């Protein structure tokens, strides 16, 4: 039981670090690489840092993210798992479960214990069910998440040649 708890805490910590690195990557793009901003930062970030930055970068990089080959819904699960792990609700346990918001956004969560996901799915997949799956970050899932974040960064960097023309349009 202690080993399982330690593995869960380590997995959540790794996802948290990955999400934070992604946030720092976008901050570097915003402040040093591309140099852009938000008209109303607070309003823009209400939906989260990921969608806010992707909206702005879609215009700057002249891209439709659906053509990128990047699993943006998967990357959003990284951020949601981090948020849930850092702001959980159960004081007496290190088991962190998916919440209603996460399950509404994606009823087939990637960072779910497979057995618990099957039981939950068999019970009509109610986001308010007592049987919602635990967030489970295995080694394989963590490396898949890292690969997807790297795929996003590679895609963004492959389109940075469009920044100069965007800057010229801003004048």
CA distance 158 to 83: 29
Question: What are the distances in angstroms from CA 93 to CA 17, 21, 24, 85, 119?
Answer: 21, 26, 30, 12, 21
Q: Which domain holds residue 25?
A: 2-170
User: Could you read off the pLDDT of 106-147 as tens digits, one per residue?
Assistant: 888 899 988 888 887 777 666 556 678 888 999 999 999 999
Per-residue pLDDT tens over the stretch 154-171: 999 999 999 999 999 888
Domain count, the chain: 1
pLDDT value of position 100: 78
């Amino acid at each position: 039981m202690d080993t399982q708890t330690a593995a869960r805490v380590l997995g959540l910590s790794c996802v948290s670090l990955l999400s934070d690195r992604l946030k720092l990557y976008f901050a570097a793009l915003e402040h040093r690489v591309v140099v852009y901003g938000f008209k109303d930062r607070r309003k823009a970030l209400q939906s989260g840092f990921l969608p806010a930055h992707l909206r702005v970068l879609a215009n700057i990089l002249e891209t439709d993210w659906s053509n990128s080959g990047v699993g943006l819904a998967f990357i959003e699960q990284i951020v949601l798992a981090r948020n849930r792990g850092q702001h959980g609700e159960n004081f007496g346990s290190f088991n962190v479960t998916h919440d209603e918001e996460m399950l509404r956004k994606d009823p087939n969560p990637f960072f779910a214990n497979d057995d618990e996901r099957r039981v939950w799915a068999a019970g009509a997949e109610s986001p308010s069910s007592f049987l919602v799956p635990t967030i489970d970050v295995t080694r394989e899932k963590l490396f898949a998440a890292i690969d997807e974040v790297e795929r996003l960064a590679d895609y963004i960097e492959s389109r940075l040649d469009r920044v100069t023309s965007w800057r010229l349009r801003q004048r």
